[in-house]
Chains A and B, each alone.
Chain A
Amino acid sequence: MLHEVGLHARPSVRLTQLAKSFASRIEFGPSNEGPWTDVKSIVKVMKTKTPKDALLYFRAEGADAQAAVSALIALIERDFETEA
């Protein structure tokens, strides 16, 4: 999580909106054993209060799972800026 203040309002909106554009079930968590959070729910995403520099694990299940995870990671890596 590179964003200056962690996963707060604006980054969370971008994350959930992008997640909702995929059919797969997508979750993230603080370790590869969870606890897992539904990325499509902003209420749940904000509840994690993920700080800056936290390491996040993503997992997805569905037809476009691979594409979904790649897209979400790319969003975080470009610091939540919309694609040019």
Chain B
Amino acid sequence: MVLLKGTPVAPGLAVGPLVCLAGVVQVARARGSRGDERDALAAAIGAAREELAAIAARAGNADEEGIVAFQIELLEDAELAGPAYAAIDAGEAADTAWRAAMGLQIDDYQSSDSEYFRARAADLRDLCDRVLGRLSGDTAEAIPQGAIVAADDLAPSRFLATDWSNGGLVLHRAGATSHVAILARARGVPMLVGVDSAQLGGHSQALLDAQNGTLILDPDPDTRQAFDRRRTTYALQQVADARYLEKEARTGSGERVQVMINVARPDDVGTLDPAHVDGIGLVRTEFLFHDRDRLPDEEEQYRVYSRLLQWAAGKPVTIRTLDAGGDKPIPGLTRERESNPFLGVRGVRLSLRHPQVLSVQLRALARAAVDTNLKVMIPMVTLPEELERCRALLVRAVAELAAEGVPAALPKLGMMVEVPAAALAVEEFAAHFYSIGSNDLIQYLSAASRDEPELASVALPGTGFLRVVRSICEHGSREGREVSLCGDLASDPLQIRALLDCGLRTLSVAPAALAAVKAAIAKC
């Protein structure tokens, strides 16, 4: 039995035979006359266009249609194949000419500094392979139904041509914003990324867990049985839970519980109806700093924050200041080669060492706070002084904006409670609200890294953790300050009863877990 970790990009559980896909085999084609090669390429492009039109006709939703429409539009643009025809006229074979012409365009997308444009390289590769397939007369091997498919990357059109019932997908290269990930989420196909496909050879059976981000190869019988039980429960649960999505969350005895969502990037709210949530309990702002060579300016941050507040339509939105470091490095900002990054210069510790970066963020937040229900949350607070220094910077940002004549307001300032020293002395912190970061608090209380799969049974929310949560809730209700929990724990239906028992009445969960959490609350 082998256990590999990956990043879930589409939720669910799947079990099946492991099918590893190889890349397209490149066989050079015998070259005909220039006229023959031109005709061969034109015919292959025409045939590829027809294949795509047939896929578009079968498309099940707007995402699928949009992705195929993009590829068809590319094929219909004479500009796409122009350089290939020029190479044929210069004496190249049709396949070599096409591959070279597409290779230049793929490289162009691949080198973009925007994740979105980089992800489009996969669409061009897909088109390139489809036309090459027609030129060589090859068609890709069919993907059997119900398999766990592993590959370096998967072409969107190949995804669409496959029956994914009971199947799952494991890719090495694709990211959360790749077209294939969007398709997998839309079709409900469990999917992991970041799993090295080279490690998968020689295994036959796979358990894909896109809830916890694991791929288990050749499981022993006990693991397999436990997984099957979870799968059955998961499937039944999903059907049952769906009925709770639109309702306000209430316990069996009718007590109201606020259920908010965690947002890691602006697209996360995507198709979600704001009427189904009580607000956004955590906006991670690290995404603003990813994949770029300069830090986001005030204007850009202001627009992103405003957009989320607009979506929430008056419901509370808690935005966390940059929480870099630990497992979230940011080039140029976080420290390299810290001996123990989780105990290092991270969160507010890092922000206070870069007040110029923090102040830009606080100015953007103060501007977005005008006439909205925005709250600002500081991560990794250990000492009251840290919170007070942030407050001073926030007050100064508001004063500066006022002096410049820019509309701004002072948002409520709260803190994450994730460092044991702060959690055990929460009364010393003059925070408007406390949000328990269970991932870090559990890892610090149990002295067990959350990245170490072998310690999963040690890093559990045990009595010690629950006692700390209870004491924070008691302090909150004495002082009339809101206490919430925004870690992964709140997204786990099995933990809801214990959390409510501690006195928590506000939970912030992964958008995909919303229905399941509301359903679990109703059973308490």
Chain B proximity of A70: nearest CB distance (Å): 22
For window 2-20 of A, CB contacts with B under 8 Å fall at: 4-6, 8-10, 12-13, 16-17
Contacts of A17 in B (CB 8 A): 73
Q: Which of B69, B78, B120 contacts A8 (CB 8 A)?
A: B120
Asked if A53 is an interface residue, CB under 8 A from chain B, the answer is: yes
Asked if B291 is an interface residue, CB under 8 A from chain A, the answer is: no
Chain A proximity of B65: nearest CB distance (Å): 10
Bound form: Cα–Cα A47–B105 in Å: 9
Asked if B16 is an interface residue, CB under 8 A from chain A, the answer is: no
Bound form: Cα–Cα A16–B108 in Å: 20
Check if A9 sits within 8 Å of B70, measured CB to CB.
Answer: yes
Contacts of A60 in B (CB 8 A): none
Check if B77 sits within 8 Å of A49, measured CB to CB.
Answer: no
A10 to chain B: closest residue by CB? B66
Please report the number of residue pairs spanning A and B whose Cβ atoms sit closer than 8 angstroms: 51
Most buried by B among A9, A16, A41: A9
Asked if A42 is an interface residue, CB under 8 A from chain B, the answer is: yes
Bound form: Cα–Cα A43–B120 in Å: 12
For window 82-105 of B, CB contacts with A under 8 Å fall at: 105
Q: Which of A10, A43, A49 contacts B112 (CB 8 A)?
A: A49
Contacts of B74 in A (CB 8 A): 42-43
Interface of A is mostly: helix
Asked if B123 is an interface residue, CB under 8 A from chain A, the answer is: yes
Q: Which of B70, B78, B108, B112 contacts A13 (CB 8 A)?
A: B70
Chain B 118-139 per-residue mask, 1 if CB under 8 angstroms from chain A, else 0: 0010010000000000000000
Interface size class of A (residues with CB under 8 A): 10 to 19
Check if A13 sits within 8 Å of B80, measured CB to CB.
Answer: no
Chain B 204-235 per-residue mask, 1 if CB under 8 angstroms from chain A, else 0: 00000000000000000000000000000000
Asked if B293 is an interface residue, CB under 8 A from chain A, the answer is: no
Chain A proximity of B288: nearest CB distance (Å): 13
Contacts of B120 in A (CB 8 A): 8-9, 46
Contacts of B66 in A (CB 8 A): 9-10, 13
Q: Which of B77, B116, B117 contacts A43 (CB 8 A)?
A: B77
The answer to whether A5 and B73 touch (CB under 8 A), given A13-B66, A43-B105, is no
Chain A proximity of B294: nearest CB distance (Å): 13
Bound form: Cα–Cα A6–B73 in Å: 18
Asked if A78 is an interface residue, CB under 8 A from chain B, the answer is: no
Check if A49 sits within 8 Å of B117, measured CB to CB.
Answer: yes
Contacts of A44 in B (CB 8 A): 79
Most buried by B among A8, A43, A44: A43
Asked if B67 is an interface residue, CB under 8 A from chain A, the answer is: yes
Asked if B266 is an interface residue, CB under 8 A from chain A, the answer is: yes
Chain B proximity of A52: nearest CB distance (Å): 8
Chain A proximity of B243: nearest CB distance (Å): 31
Check if B67 sits within 8 Å of A9, measured CB to CB.
Answer: yes
Check if B116 sits within 8 Å of A6, measured CB to CB.
Answer: yes
Check if A10 sits within 8 Å of B70, measured CB to CB.
Answer: yes
Contacts of A47 in B (CB 8 A): 108
A8 to chain B: closest residue by CB? B116
Q: Which of A4, A6, A41, A49 contacts B79 (CB 8 A)?
A: A41
Asked if B114 is an interface residue, CB under 8 A from chain A, the answer is: yes
Contacts of A12 in B (CB 8 A): 70, 73
Check if A53 sits within 8 Å of B79, measured CB to CB.
Answer: no
Contacts of A4 in B (CB 8 A): 266-267, 307
Chain B proximity of A16: nearest CB distance (Å): 6
Asked if A34 is an interface residue, CB under 8 A from chain B, the answer is: no
The answer to whether A42 and B112 touch (CB under 8 A), given A8-B120, A9-B70, is no
Chain B proximity of A3: nearest CB distance (Å): 11
The answer to whether A42 and B77 touch (CB under 8 A), given A8-B120, A9-B70, A47-B108, is yes
Bound form: Cα–Cα A8–B119 in Å: 10
Asked if A51 is an interface residue, CB under 8 A from chain B, the answer is: yes
Bound form: Cα–Cα A12–B69 in Å: 10
A15 to chain B: closest residue by CB? B73
Bound form: Cα–Cα A12–B66 in Å: 11
Chain A 34-77 per-residue mask, 1 if CB under 8 angstroms from chain B, else 0: 00000001111011010101000000000000000000000000
Contacts of A16 in B (CB 8 A): 73, 77
B72 to chain A: closest residue by CB? A13
Bound form: Cα–Cα A51–B303 in Å: 14
Contacts of A9 in B (CB 8 A): 66-67, 70, 120, 123, 179
Check if A42 sits within 8 Å of B114, measured CB to CB.
Answer: no
Bound form: Cα–Cα A56–B470 in Å: 55
B63 to chain A: closest residue by CB? A10
Check if A53 sits within 8 Å of B70, measured CB to CB.
Answer: no
Bound form: Cα–Cα A10–B79 in Å: 18
**7 shortest interchain CB distances as A-B pairs:** A43-B79, A9-B70, A41-B79, A42-B73, A5-B116, A10-B66, A43-B77
A-B contact pairs, 19 of them (CB 8 A): A6-B114, A6-B116, A8-B117, A9-B179, A10-B66, A12-B70, A13-B69, A13-B70, A16-B73, A17-B73, A41-B78, A41-B79, A43-B77, A43-B79, A43-B80, A43-B105, A47-B108, A51-B114, A53-B303
9 more CB-based (< 8 A) A-B contacts, given A16-B77, A42-B74, A49-B117: A10-B66, A10-B69, A12-B73, A13-B73, A17-B73, A41-B77, A41-B79, A42-B77, A49-B114
